[in-house]
Amino acid sequence: MKMNRHEIEQVLPHRDPMLLVDEVVSMEPKQRIVALKHTRNGDPCFAGHFPGAPVMPGVLIIEAMAQAGALLLFREVPDRASKLVFFAGIDGARFRAPVFPGDTLRLELEVLSWRNTRCKMAGKAYVGERLVAEAELMATLVDRDRAQKNNANTE
């Protein structure tokens, strides 16, 4: 299954500048996803990280992997408009090479375990054939109403 940016926006709640997946190249339900993030000179992260020598922050590479994983998870949720996917953990994160403006990140995630509302995936990010980052990511589904109610209680 392939998805373009418009179709991704129908599934993920993220919006610019925090939507970090531009297209889905392939998806095997409950098993694997391959998605792309096309970096651009104008991406907000490059303005301050680092002026004159722009590099994509590692945390945004991890976030892009997490969003690709969320797409895979959300595709299996029939009432996804009432849910959010929260990042629940990260293990073994390693950054192997820098990502520069104009690079295309290929995000590959494979499901390690899937139980009801929790999922663990092994993620790798590539630029071309070069591995730039990897991590194991955990995610959990939560009710959107509950998350919004908790947020209102903290204000």
Choose, from 6, 14, 38, 49, the residue flagged as catalytic: 49
CA–CA gap between residue 105 and residue 111 (Å, rounded): 19
14 is catalytic: no
Q: Which residues pair with 32 in a beta bridge?
A: 28, 110
Q: How far apart are CA 113 and CA 95, in angstroms?
A: 23
Cβ distance 133 to 96 under 8 Å?
yes
HSE on the CB side for 40, CA within 13 Å? 7
Rounded Cα distance between 118 and 29, Å, is 15
Kindly list the catalytic residues: 49
